A and B are shown apart, each in its own frame.
Chain A
Amino acid sequence: MASTTSRRNFLRGSTAAALAVTAGGALASCAGSVNENKGTGGGGKGGTTTIKLMANENEFAPELIKAFETAHPDIKVEVLVYDDTRLNAMLSGGDAPDLVRGTGATITPYIAKSGMAAPLDDYFAKSKVLKADDLAPVNDVWRFDGTKQGAGPRYGMAKDYSQDNTFWYNTKVFEAAGAKLPSATEPLTYDALLELGQKLTKRSGGKIKTYGLDLFGVSIFPKLMTMVSSAGGTVFAENLESVDFSTAEARDALGYYLEFARADVGASVIAPAPEAGTAPLFKADRYGILSAGYWLGGALYADKVADHIGFAPAPQFGSTRVSPCFGATGLWIPEKSSHKDAAWTFFEWFMGGEQAKARATSGWGLPALKSLEGELPSAKPAQKQAKEVQTAELAHFSTLTFSPYAKVDALEAALQQQLTVALKDKHSTGKLADALNDKVNKLLQQGVELTK
């Protein structure tokens, strides 16, 4: 029985130990899930249920969480910082969060088709706070029936929203350039907007001192979809399994983007915005036009720039006036959540009642409940002007349908990569469209394979 330590024995032992460590980790995480499941239905320690809320940093202030826990002492909320990779790991590891933030306008088909999100119709039907006839039309972006966004089961709800293709302008920059202010009722054409951007841009020694136009922001894909939709076309095929950028409408929209980027009048894929974004430059009277929804007002009203700003309707690319929402940021409940009832309690508390009213009066977005539409701030002239423009803009609200087979972030990334290459290598619009069809359809094809 004398113990001998041979190299082979040692390696065998180490391998076993390593596997035990790895398996132990996995088992530990499973054990964690099992223990947590025991708490479902209020059976946890002391009769409390802890729900995991995954949101962006600082999105849910500790005071807000405390207010909820005071109102609902049987539920504790643990806030996790949102991270795609972490969410995937938690969902596939059987340790799903109970509430997740998301931009309903772009993610709903994906989280619905992949089975990640739970349908909430039963909860809405029973709710005394969130009544179906009080839900603003924007909440329909959180619906998906398998082929169309805007119909079918509800998978979430917006906390507030904006029609994100509208824009804000700085009147001081306009005055300095001797440019006419945009109409509050009639939309500008994209060509007129670019012309305006060129007029507002001031250069010195090759460097830009005042930028004219931030038209596409950080999400180009939804904006291109809007342009194509305005021109009467669609980017996605009817079954949402592929894209076609080679249609006349899509090529026109791509061509416009290339022209816009080459004009160098504001942020683009080849001239990115500064780290802090374009809003600080707008506040410093160094940006003429920022394409952003009503929500941006919340960041502007308290600043000195508020006395020389204006809000304008979404520009029009084709013959139809469309003004969609690209965000509709809200919450959804994962299908694998172990605490759906408790999660819904938080959902209902946050989306309705006092919390919703407080958001509506802040000016940081439009209320997602019809009953709160009159609560928008209008004390300052800028707030009053924005409210008037926004009220008229509601008539042109439309819902874009995204594909359930790929995350919009992936499509956005593919688009930006190809736009960069096209601008760098001076590709034609047709070549760009072909490259996009190739790249994006490959992503969608994988999604189709993994979903069906």
Chain B
Amino acid sequence: MSVQTEARPVAVAAAPKPPPRKRWSRYRSRTFYAFVAPWLIGFLALTVVPMLYALRMSFTNTNGISDKARWVGIDNYVEALHDADVLHSLYRTGLFTLTVVPLTVLGSVLLALLVNQPIRGKGFFRTLFYLPAIVPGVAAALTWKLIFDKDAGPANGVMELLGLDPVTWLQDPAVSYVLLSLMLWGIGGGMLVSLAGLQDIPKELLEAARVDGAGKLRVFWHVTVPLLSPILLFQVVTGVINALQIIAQPMLLAPSAGGVVSAAKVSPDTNMYMVHVYAQYFTFGRWGYGSALLWLLFVVVLVITFLVMRLGRRVVFYNVDPDSQGEKG
């Protein structure tokens, strides 16, 4: 008894030890925040702060140099909504997005289905289809320019052999098709993602469907597509965001002087929204107006992404309930 009585005060004097579960929880929490901190700091410094700075600029008429810039309220936003060039570029970008996203997603799924077949040399074909995706965009665009040069390009050489008139590929309206083909050239990246999704589909489900008498098309439509739908949603969302923000390819396809590309030289048909924004900043020195255009695009992207995600809830099938994942671990 006495031993027990002496031991108790010592235990009381020491700091109360938290229960093991609480310590573990705190350790986990600290580790989590330590790991995400570099990203979060980068996000705040390189995204949030510049965005807020751009928001502030969007209410001024600054050109980035003058110290006489003044507050113009929402004038830049009002002008943007009435600017025929902005509306034109927005229309072209919307049209481009509606064309290129379905084509690239569909194309990548079809390619993935092709190279997922049990055929000889499928590794070779997977590499072959993926290779264009790792060619730097600048190199690909410049190659395209050489191929589609009106007077010296092989594309018109083939046309000539076929007895057809040469086409001015890099000008309107043909340049839209050149841009589209350039985008489709890189679908190997999407193919790889779709392939990973296809290989994740449990074979038992496919076999069960076949045993139940489903044909290839029905298996594809009722089993493969639903199980692949999270991957498709991911590709659609990232595809839409990328397409709405496209800038490099149209500028690289435009004529350059001594290797210097200019947003102002982009053909009207490929004058996408971000090209127009870039021109406002760096060609015309309208930093305030350009910032307003950027914020408008940000809102548009946000709304479209929200809508796609909402739509996704109805059509995307998750094999495992995503909400339960956090609780398991």
Contacts from A to B (Cβ < 8 Å): 4-5, 10-11, 14-15, 17-19, 21-22, 84-85, 88, 91-92, 114, 116, 205-209, 218, 269-275, 277, 406-407, 409-410, 412-414, 416-417, 420-421, 424, 443, 446-447, 449-452
Contact = CB atoms under 8 A, between A and B. Distances in A.
B189 interface: no
B174 interface: no
Interface stretch (B102-110, B233-241, B279-287, B320-328): B279-287
A5 B145 CA distance: 55
Nearest to B30: A5
Contact of B41 (A17, A207, A413): A17
The 6 closest A-B pairs by CB, nearest first: A272-B255, A413-B264, A18-B44, A450-B66, A18-B45, A206-B166
Contacts of A420: 267-268
Interface string B107-148: 000000000000000000000000000000000000001000
17 contacts: A5-B33, A11-B40, A18-B40, A22-B45, A206-B166, A207-B150, A207-B160, A207-B166, A208-B151, A272-B170, A410-B283, A413-B263, A424-B172, A446-B286, A449-B68, A450-B61, A450-B68
Contacts of B70: 449
A265 B172 CA distance: 19
A419 to B, nearest CB: 11
Given A116-B65, A446-B61, A446-B63, A18 B48 contact: yes
Contact of B160 (A17, A205, A208): A205
A275 B256 contact: yes
A117 to B, nearest CB: 13
Contacts, number: 114
Nearest to A4: B26
A421 B268 contact: yes
Interface residues of B, number: 51
B259 A14 contact: no
Contacts of A91: 65
A416 B44 contact: no
B64 A92 contact: yes
Contacts of B49: 18-19, 22
Given A116-B65, A410-B283, A412-B264, 13 more contacts: A5-B30, A11-B40, A14-B44, A18-B44, A88-B64, A91-B65, A207-B166, A271-B150, A274-B149, A409-B283, A414-B264, A420-B268, A446-B61
A91 B65 CA distance: 7
Contact of A10 (B33, B69, B160): B33
Contacts of A410: 283-285
A223 to B, nearest CB: 15
A275 B258 CA distance: 7
A19 B23 CA distance: 31
B65 A5 contact: no
Nearest to B283: A413
B262 interface: yes
Contacts of A85: 282
B29 interface: yes
A421 B269 CA distance: 10
A133 to B, nearest CB: 36
A5 B171 contact: no
Contacts of B44: 14-15, 17-19
Contacts of A88: 64-65
Interface in B30-87: 30, 33, 37, 40-41, 43-45, 48-49, 61-66, 68-70
